[in-house]
Amino acid sequence: MQRRYGLLILLSAVIVLAGGYRGFRLFHHSGLPFAVQFIDAHAGVIEPVAGIPLPAALHAGDRIDLAAQPRSTRIAIIANIPQGRTYAFVTGHGGAVVTLPVTSVSWNAKPGLPAAPWAGFCFTALLSMIALLAVWRGRDRAAAGLTLWTIANLTSLATGAVASDGMVGLGLMLGEWALFLLARVGFYVMAESMAGPAITPRAKAWWRASFLLLLGLGAIQSLGGPLAYVATGWAELLRPAYGFALTTSYLVPVTLLFVSYRRAEATRRLRLRWMLGSSAVFVAGVFIGNTSILGGLASLNTAQIMFTIALVGFLYAILRHRVVDFTVVLNHALVYAATTSFVLGLFALFESLIERTALGHGASLLLELAVPLGLGVSLSTVHRRIDSAVERFVFRRQYREEVALRGFARECAFVTQSQNLLDLTVDQIRLHVGTPWVALYEHTADGYVRVRQRGSHDLPAQVDADDLTLVKLRTHDTGVDLHDTPSQLGRDGHAFPLRVRGSLLGVLLVGPRPGEHYAAEERELLGHVAHEVGAALFALRAQATEEQLSAVRAQAQASEAMLNDVRAQAEARVLAIEERARASEALLLQLLPAAGSTAQS
């Protein structure tokens, strides 16, 4: 655990330092007093920069032979060089070859687009924010890809912002582009993870091969091009037209997001839509910046603005739709604390204004007590209205989910058939929670048997009663994260107990939403629903048992009545037999004397 937090702190320090240095260098930039546009493999054209005068011996449109330039000059043309360094430029004037000294200057005063440095600063700030969120709150492979993409981009920008010339400057530039290529790997990992089951393993292999092929072409252009240029003056691969080779590797993950969006279910489409749109804007900015299609400075400024717009979309998608597996960043307590602080600020402001303008120093004590009391009562209503508005708009999905599920938790006690209750439970939870699958297990003599399931997921039909998850659910009256508990139920989703009077009547399983964790409030709500459903199911089972007992009791009473009838009939028959026997006996007694007298005669 300590190693993990040590790594998080180290990565956070890298993010803050890289982002801070990059933001500082945006406003303290330096370079040659002109730009060089490569027109073919061996020649370049001098282009003036608005607001910076050209050296006296150079003119706009002058051609320079790249192979004739000293190595330090060739590096200075493409690297981020410090201010005040002088380089020898070889140029031709009137058929003569002339070597001119050119000194680097500050570019802080360049007009260009006035918003360009600020757009770059906003882009860096947003990238740093997303990187910190990914480092501290990311939990899955998509978040790991996002972390790699953001940190590699930040460190690349910071490396490229270091002012240095010579071989050190060339090494820094190559390191900058190597990190840019690594960032593309992170972006692809994120896109592939978000696509999930939308692509088959075989298709995934083809996507990876395509990405690596295009990434290799980009590496040849971005790393091999500068090396060949510095070594020989051959600048063919540095021409803007070849910048498309560096952009194509981004097209693979964007196309992958588009394919997965078309095949995704409705619950994931909104998240993918925002990510896909933001990625398209970002890649368009990469294309414009790499190809200089709008001209050198205009393309750079336009790309910076498009990067900023794209990152705003990324950040909104991450926070609002949780396109990667983030735990809760914006929770109810934080927002309600902010609204409470706002209301308290209003209270202090109004009290101060009333005290200064209306009360004065001669007001009575009763009036001074009545004014804050009246303000408190008034602002209490305002506070409730603000809380209600926040609940409905900021947490709209959670609000609807809570209203629907709490309503079902109250209403489930009035369902009359246990089978209908089980159906309604899984249907309502899947509808309002947005989970890809949900299941219910019920306790039997043989263990816990799956009685309901919605959504396709491989779940066992029966689970042993001593499964670790079930043991935890019997021990604690809280839900269990299956990811942290080895179980026959798998490692995805959450299990909630249907506990009644200390016994575990059943288990509610809720699958994980694509790319996000359940908030603590949601887990508490699902636990409440499971408890109420368990109570309702227990009542229905008890009612059914009572009805069965009543039927058995009635049958026993009917059997007892029948036995009584049989006993009465038997007793009547016995009495009748006894009566006949006594009558026969009396008759015999009467006949015996007569028989005796007859014998004597």
The tokens 């490396």 sit on which residue? Answer: 159
Q: Where are the alpha helices (DSSP H) in 220-242?
A: 225-232
Which amino acid makes up residue 345? G
Contacting residues for 453 by C-beta, under 8 A, at least 6 apart: 426, 437, 438, 439, 440, 459
What pLDDT is stored for residue 523 in this prediction? Answer: 84
What pLDDT is stored for residue 496 in this prediction? Answer: 92
Handedness of CA 484, 487, 488, 494 (dihedral sign): negative
Distance, CA of 279 to CA of 285 (rounded, Å):
10
For the cut 60, the answer to whether the pLDDT of residue 594 exceeds it is: yes
Q: With contact defined as beta carbons under 8 Å apart, do 425 and 453 qualify?
A: no
Q: With contact defined as beta carbons under 8 Å apart, do 275 and 257 qualify?
A: yes
What pLDDT is stored for residue 285 in this prediction? Answer: 87
| Annotated domain spans of the chain | 2-29+108-321, 32-107, 332-394, 402-544
Q: With contact defined as beta carbons under 8 Å apart, do 516 and 326 qualify?
A: yes
Distance, CA of 203 to CA of 196 (rounded, Å):
12
**Residue-wise pLDDT tens digits, 344-389:** 666 565 656 655 555 555 555 555 556 566 666 666 676 667 666 6
Specify the 3-state DSSP secondary structure of 363: coil
For the cut 50, the answer to whether the pLDDT of residue 18 exceeds it is: yes
More confident residue, 500 or 174: 174
Arithmetic mean of pLDDT, 167-173: 88
Query: Which of 169, 157, 152 has its CA nearest to residue 78?
Result: 169
More confident residue, 220 or 458: 220
Q: With contact defined as beta carbons under 8 Å apart, do 443 and 504 qualify?
A: yes
Residue 561 CA, distance from chain mean position: 70
**Residue-wise pLDDT tens digits, 113-130:** 444 677 778 888 888 888
Distance, CA of 73 to CA of 77 (rounded, Å):
6
Enter the tokens of residue 120: 């770059």
Arithmetic mean of pLDDT, 4-27: 84
**Per CATH, domain 402-544 is 3.30.450.40:** yes
- Compute the half-sphere exposure of residue 184: CA atoms within 13 Å on the CB side of its CA: 26
What pLDDT is stored for residue 114 in this prediction? Answer: 44
Enter the tokens of residue 196: 């999930």
For the cut 60, the answer to whether the pLDDT of residue 109 exceeds it is: no
Distance, CA of 511 to CA of 434 (rounded, Å):
9
Backbone phi and psi for residue 463, each to the nearest 5 degrees, phi listed first: -125, 140
Per-residue pLDDT band at 322 (split at 50, 70, 90): low
What pLDDT is stored for residue 438 in this prediction? Answer: 92
DSSP labels, 53-111: PPPTT--TT-EEETTTS-HHHHHHHHS-PPTT-EEEEEEEETTEEEEEEEE-EE-TT--
Contacting residues for 241 by C-beta, under 8 A, at least 6 apart: 291
For the cut 60, the answer to whether the pLDDT of residue 320 exceeds it is: yes
More confident residue, 493 or 187: 187
Arithmetic mean of pLDDT, 219-231: 89
**DSSP type of residue 326:** B
Arithmetic mean of pLDDT, 509-531: 80
Q: Is 233 left (phi over 0), alpha (psi -120 to 50) or beta?
A: left
Enter the tokens of residue 242: 């070849």
Bridge partners (DSSP) of residue 443 are: 448
What pLDDT is stored for residue 165 in this prediction? Answer: 83
Specify the 3-state DSSP secondary structure of 445: coil
Distance, CA of 273 to CA of 147 (rounded, Å):
21
| Highest averaged pLDDT of the listed ranges 94-98, 147-151, 428-432 | 147-151
pTM equals 0.63
Distance, CA of 131 to CA of 345 (rounded, Å):
33
Arithmetic mean of pLDDT, 137-157: 86
What pLDDT is stored for residue 337 in this prediction? Answer: 57
Arithmetic mean of pLDDT, 136-149: 82
Contacting residues for 532 by C-beta, under 8 A, at least 6 apart: 409, 410, 412, 413
By percentage, how much of the chain surpasses pLDDT 70? 80
More confident residue, 183 or 141: 183
Which of 248-257, 327-336, 519-528, 565-574 is predicted least confidently? 327-336
Per-residue pLDDT band at 151 (split at 50, 70, 90): very high
Which of 29-38, 220-229, 365-374, 395-404 is predicted least confidently? 365-374
Q: How far apart, in Å, are the Cα atoms of 444 and each of 173, 294, 438, 440?
A: 68, 72, 20, 13
**Residue-wise pLDDT tens digits, 561-576:** 888 888 888 888 888 8
For the cut 50, the answer to whether the pLDDT of residue 295 exceeds it is: yes
Which of 236-240, 340-344, 536-540, 575-579 is predicted least confidently? 340-344
For the cut 80, the answer to whether the pLDDT of residue 600 exceeds it is: no
Across the chain, mean pLDDT equals 80
Distance, CA of 312 to CA of 125 (rounded, Å):
11
Per-residue pLDDT band at 214 (split at 50, 70, 90): very high
Q: With contact defined as beta carbons under 8 Å apart, do 509 and 489 qualify?
A: yes
Q: How many CB atoms lie within 10 A of CB 147?
A: 24
Per-residue pLDDT band at 328 (split at 50, 70, 90): very low
Pairing of strands 503-510, 494-500: antiparallel
Q: How far apart, in Å, are the Cα atoms of 392 and each of 218, 310, 321, 385, 386?
A: 48, 27, 16, 11, 10
Q: Is 457 left (phi over 0), alpha (psi -120 to 50) or beta?
A: beta
Distance, CA of 581 to CA of 570 (rounded, Å):
16
What pLDDT is stored for residue 294 in this prediction? Answer: 74
Q: With contact defined as beta carbons under 8 Å apart, do 82 and 164 qualify?
A: yes
